[in-house]
């Protein structure tokens, strides 16, 4: 088994740490620390093999170098162009594998389509690096097809249905349909919406956005504390047409919870020009920012903690039609300083991600590097 170079991990390696120092360098013009960390990222040969995805390997390094060139496109331009070719080859390989699964009726898998390892993550990078490219069009085409339902063992399931568990400790016999931003429908929806907002629209894309929005409407659970969605759906949920796998809401997080889902729905409504749906999404997001919900967050990180909720809410507030989300930002920012730091340098659960969200809170302007594109919230 070949070990993956840890530096090339956006989630918990030097690549994620580099984003923090790049953002600071873009603000203050001092690049020594950022360059040092970037050298750590590429200290070993960059991996463009089967494990490469937005959060690891060539795509992760390309994302980092693109962030570093936010104010000067000549910075790292040669390395970026080389990486672009490796990324394109990795996407084509991923597309062939995903298309073969679809053609033969095999279930897809997280690694085929999700944000971390799959085509959604590649789409994030290409929407930034090559928005008009043919290969991005192929990704969007595949994801539009993936939205269409299919039949599995006589049961109609969403096209992104997987036959594996969401987590080894959380079995879902027969498979599940994931709803979250990191591995599920919210991530697909957010990418399609962001592409539409950027003017990159293929046949069926707008219909796919509306279909996914309808899907989230169907599985929305209303309560006195505000709406919530299950983290995933099981065979029993789909057979009965009612939620049996979840009895209450999970954490209001970016990765799986209502915060990430409502941001995806807000982006979708904006992309399709549906003002009423946008307001509904924003009301739902604001309802999940009350102390009652935020008190359930016991970690500070981006993935499932306060930093991710803050950064997502900040981006949502800038697009919102009403101030209810923005009004909660000061209280959220205060929470960033009340929980212990995460691991030494990780982006998703560690100190780098927390510090980046804190930079946004401190400056009250969007990141210069747009580092949070890797969260699918902008």
Q: Is residue 193 within 8 Å of residue 268, measured between CB atoms?
A: yes
Give the containing element (helix H, strand E) for 119. helix 119-129
- Specify the higher pLDDT residue, 20 or 344: 20
Q: Report how far apart the first and last C-alpha atoms of the chain are (Å, whole number).
A: 36
61 within 8 A of 41, measured Cβ to Cβ: yes
Mean pLDDT to the nearest integer, 277-290: 98
Phi and psi dihedrals of 151, rounded to 5?
-110, 130
Cα(152)–Cα(249) distance, integer angstroms = 27
Task: Give pLDDT tens digits for 261-282.
Answer: 999 999 999 999 999 999 999 9
pLDDT at 333: 95
User: What per-residue confidence (pLDDT) applies to 247?
Assistant: 86
Is the pLDDT score of 218 beyond 70?
A: yes
Give the pLDDT band of residue 339 (cuts 50, 70, 90).
low
Strand ranges, E, within 214-299? 232-233
* Mean pLDDT, residues 215-230 taken together: 96
Q: Give the containing element (helix H, strand E) for 47.
A: none
Q: To the nearest whole percent, how much of the chain has pLDDT over 90?
A: 89
User: Across the strands, what pairs with 221?
Assistant: 228
Q: Which residue has the tokens 């809401």?
A: 249
Read off the pLDDT band of 298 (50, 70, 90). confident
Alpha carbons 126 and 262: distance in angstroms, whole number? 24
Q: What is the mean pLDDT of residues 289-304?
A: 93
Q: Does 175 score more than 80 pLDDT?
A: yes
Question: Per-residue confidence at 343, pLDDT binned at 50, 70, 90?
Answer: low
Residue 340: pLDDT over 70? no
* CB neighbour class for 153 (10 Å; exposed up to 12, middle 13-18, buried from 19): exposed
152 CA to centre of own chain = 27
pLDDT tens digits for range 117-169: 999 999 999 999 999 999 999 999 999 999 999 998 899 999 999 999 998 88
Residue 3 pLDDT more than 70? no
State the average pLDDT for the chain: 95
Q: Work out the average pLDDT over 41-56.
A: 96
Separation between Cα atoms, residue 129 and residue 119, nearest integer Å: 15
CA dihedral 282, 144, 57, 12 (to 10 degrees): 30
pLDDT of 52 above 80: yes
CA 298 to CA 310: how far, in whole Å? 14
Q: Which of 181, 88, 101 is nearest to 137 (CA)?
A: 88
* DSSP state, residue 373: G
d(CA 205, CA 132): 15
For residue range 362-372, list pLDDT tens digits in order.
Answer: 999 999 999 99
Q: Do 126 and 142 meet the contact criterion of CB atoms below 8 Å apart?
A: no
Distance from C-alpha of 313 to C-alpha of 310, rounded to nearest angstrom: 5
Tens-digit pLDDT profile for residues 56-99: 999 999 999 999 999 999 999 999 999 999 999 999 999 999 99
Write down the pTM of the prediction: 0.97
Q: Measured on CA atoms in the order 324, 326, 327, 332, is the torsion positive or negative?
A: positive
- Per the model's pLDDT, the better-predicted residue between 249 and 74 turns out to be 74
Tokens encoding 268: 């979708």
Which is more confident, 298 or 368? 368
Confidence of residue 1 (pLDDT cuts 50, 70, 90): very low
Tokens (6 digits) for 91: 């996407």
pLDDT over 60 at 341, yes or no: no
pLDDT at 4 over 90: no
Cβ-contact 112, 119 below 8 angstroms: yes
- Give CB contacts under 8 A, 24+ apart, made by 220-225: 220/284, 221/246, 221/249, 223/249, 225/249, 225/287, 225/290, 225/292, 225/293
């Amino acid at each position: 088994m070949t070990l993956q170079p840890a530096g090339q991990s956006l989630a918990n390696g030097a690549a994620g740490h580099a984003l923090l120092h790049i953002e600071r360098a873009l603000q203050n013009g001092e690049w020594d620390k950022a360059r040092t960390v970037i050298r750590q990222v590429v200290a070993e040969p960059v991996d463009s093999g089967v494990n490469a995805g937005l959060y690891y390997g060539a795509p992760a390094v390309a994302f980092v170098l693109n962030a570093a060139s936010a104010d000067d496109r000549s910075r790292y331009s040669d390395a970026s162009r080389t990486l672009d070719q490796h990324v394109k080859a990795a996407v084509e390989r991923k597309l062939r594998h995903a298309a073969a699964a679809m053609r033969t009726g095999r279930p897809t898998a997280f690694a085929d389509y999700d944000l971390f390892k799959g085509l959604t993550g590649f789409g994030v990078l290409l929407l930034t690096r090559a928005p008009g490219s043919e290969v991005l069009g192929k990704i969007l085409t595949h994801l539009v097809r993936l939205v269409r339902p299919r039949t599995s063992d006589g049961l109609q399931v969403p096209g992104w249905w997987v036959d594996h568990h969401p987590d080894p400790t959380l079995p879902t016999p027969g498979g599940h349909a994931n709803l979250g931003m990191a591995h599920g429908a919210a991530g697909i929806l957010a990418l399609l919406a962001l592409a539409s907002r950027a003017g990159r629209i293929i046949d069926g894309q707008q219909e796919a956005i509306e279909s996914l929005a309808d899907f989230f409407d169907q599985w929305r659970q209303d309560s006195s504390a505000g709406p919530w969605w299950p983290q995933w759906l099981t065979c029993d949920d789909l057979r009965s047409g009612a939620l049996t796998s979840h009895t209450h809401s999970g954490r209001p997080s970016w990765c799986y919870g209502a915060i990430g889902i409502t941001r995806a729905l807000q982006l979708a409504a904006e992309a399709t020009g549906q003002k009423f749906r946008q307001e509904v999404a924003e009301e739902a997001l604001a309802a999940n920012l009350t102390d009652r919900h935020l008190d359930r967050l016991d970690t500070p990180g981006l993935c499932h903690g306060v930093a991710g909720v803050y950064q997502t809410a900040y981006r949502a507030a800038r697009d919102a039609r009403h101030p209810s989300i923005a009004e909660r930002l000061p209280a959220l920012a205060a929470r960033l300083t009340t929980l212990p730091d995460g691991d030494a340098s990780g982006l998703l659960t560690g100190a780098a991600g927390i510090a980046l969200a804190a930079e946004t809170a401190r400056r009250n302007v969007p990141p210069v590097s747009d580092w949070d594109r890797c969260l699918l919230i902008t």
